[in-house]
A and B are shown apart, each in its own frame.
Chain A
């Protein structure tokens, strides 16, 4: 099926990357009135890999993600999760499949503490709807520890008092806490300084090492080349190719973002997949 049909050749990451894609989008189209936001887009992400999704403003990255998150429903096309076709009509559906989206700046309530944010909307409670604080606190500590998020002084301090990197770490930890299988990060480093960006990127790598599928949306190619396994480039609502990080250059990706030609012509392999 078009540009992404050929599985990536064995690479250093191959042992952690499984064969069937966890999430596979086929021929997704979506229009808003007369605006064609996505036309015939293919996309896939496998367990244990970080798939970067790049493209200029208006390329359709957010629309594509919202189709997966259940905020938009695609007009045409197929979504396969774990090899089986699924219908994602509302955010609940994607959450049920184990898809979690971390939106930039929209994930946390500043006035609540770390534990309260981690369990927001899924609080543990007894039959009286009383909160069960001790287990929530304990498991939050365990989750953060397992992700090596160690800089937070107290998980009982309000999120408002955390640094940008710490907040993003909490948002990511919140997403992976629920046995999620696919985590989508929307511009996780956009507002961060150098040290904090490193902190979040290290966390992204760790998620993939744990076997999760990660989709990373970013404008920053340096970040992407640091953590991504593969890179999908969108341009004007079309996918212009999937590149393997190890076998491409920033130059090539930039060219695809700014001047890429849709590759959806049968038989022609994606630009980056060719040796």
Chain B
């Protein structure tokens, strides 16, 4: 908005708002977006491409189908946590408890699947349950603990940083207490381990690719029909078509790579789970009233309250999502190593999950960001650590590089935000 376009309300200006100005070219609008601080996924996709090319030259075994499957499975756990982080950050809050909350869910699942007589002291009365049921119970526990923390934040008004910091300590303590005697629980249940170890047959992979592409195309068509019916101009039909075609190619390409892999061959279930939650949570965030209210509260809580939105309810529900997603992620991470031990949920998990969301373009200041950012961000973090590992670097280097990427991402976000404010007034 330049000064040349000083706005004057004229009764005689017949321009209809809906028709806007002459449609700009795609490139023109992309430039506009960048100018106003709306960078979208562009920087991260470019960064990711750069990382992949770099390691492909640097490490011999990096650019292989087998390693692709590796990355997908390594990514799944962190990504699930990061999905939850997106919602919390959208509110402008923070959840530091998700690391150990995920550990607690993993411990719960491990205890529940143990044969009865074998269980640890406080849980020996529990009959062993089916792995699937164990997963549901563990996720529910994590969600309930999220609700408890969210209630303290929303109803009492204690800052989320403090509440979840306390949660972090408490959950870590509980994990240590439960595993004190045994130290490690091996997970043998097939349901649970399959979350990280099941690979679809080649044929099933193609079917899944076909279903996903068809669903996406169907949704896109429904959207166009809806806009047409309401008499609105369909924005960028070509862009939409490009998206549908692009996604179809991406999906089939992914399945092709997974099927090409030798050692664990086929599409990993963990990857499909990542995709399912991506779709579900994106739908929740962008297409439902709840999601709209999350963005509103994150953007201007006072305006949301005055608009009649139950701000406390939104806050609590978001912490439920955060807790439940931590539970899901924790189970996948535990399945990945077939066990839980005293370090479960610790290490860099929490910081990686938050970093993933932030790298993915979710603003720490609330109100800006998308669920897919979590996936892209975890892709960056996992790819970098995988690449450095493959190239033979030690953990220290991985931390330093991840830290630099995080710093770059936040700097970009801050600059983008400043640009947006400047172009606003």
Contact = CB atoms under 8 A, between A and B. Distances in A.
Interface of A: 91-92, 95, 103, 106-112, 116, 120-123, 125, 128-131, 133-135, 137-138, 140-141, 144-145, 148-156, 158, 160-166, 169, 195-196, 198-199, 202-203, 206
Nearest to A195: B6
A150 B17 contact: yes
A138 B232 contact: yes
A142 to B, nearest CB: 8
Contact of A145 (B6, B7, B17): B17
B303 A109 contact: yes
Contacts of B290: 129
B220 to A, nearest CB: 14
B307 A199 contact: no
A129 B288 contact: yes
B282 interface: no
B368 A111 contact: yes
Interface residues of B, number: 50
A122 B300 contact: no
Interface string B405-425: 000000000000000110111
Q: Across the A-B interface, give the 3 residue pairs with the lowest CB-CB distance, nearest first.
A: A121-B307, A134-B230, A151-B7
Nearest to B283: A130
Contacts of B296: 109, 112, 116, 120-121
B18 A155 contact: yes
B5 to A, nearest CB: 8
11 contacts: A107-B306, A108-B300, A112-B295, A112-B299, A116-B292, A116-B295, A130-B288, A134-B229, A138-B18, A149-B9, A150-B17
Contacts of A122: 307-308
A268 B17 CA distance: 51
B309 interface: yes
Contacts of B38: 158
B230 A109 contact: no
A144 B300 CA distance: 23
B392 interface: no
Contacts of A156: 235
B367 interface: yes
B18 A137 contact: yes
B9 A131 contact: no
A195 B7 CA distance: 7
A151 B8 contact: yes
A121 B7 contact: no
A202 B306 contact: no
B309 A134 contact: no
B287 A130 contact: yes
Given A123-B289, A169-B9, A161 B1 contact: yes
A164 B11 CA distance: 19
A230 B233 CA distance: 44
Nearest to A92: B308
A158 B37 CA distance: 11
B292 A131 contact: yes
Nearest to B228: A134
A195 B423 CA distance: 18
B1 A108 contact: no
Nearest to B363: A111
Interface string B1-25: 1000111111101111110110000
A167 to B, nearest CB: 9
Contacts of B10: 148, 150
Contacts of B17: 140-141, 144-145, 149-150, 152, 155
A160 B424 contact: yes
B268 interface: no
A158 B368 CA distance: 11
A137 B232 contact: yes
A175 to B, nearest CB: 11
Interface string B45-78: 0000000000000000000000000000000000
A33 B288 CA distance: 44
Contact of B36 (A92, A135, A161): A161
Given A109-B295, A151-B5, 17 more contacts: A106-B303, A107-B306, A108-B300, A116-B296, A120-B304, A121-B307, A129-B288, A129-B290, A134-B226, A134-B229, A152-B17, A155-B18, A158-B420, A163-B425, A165-B7, A195-B6, A202-B9
Given A148-B10, A195-B8, A162 B424 contact: yes
Contacts of A110: 299-300, 367, 424
Contacts of A134: 226-227, 229-230, 232
Contacts of A199: 7-9
A195 B9 CA distance: 9
Contacts of A109: 295-296, 299-300, 303-304, 367
B26 to A, nearest CB: 15
Interface centre among B11, B13, B17, B227 (most CB of A within 10 A): B17
A111 B38 CA distance: 11
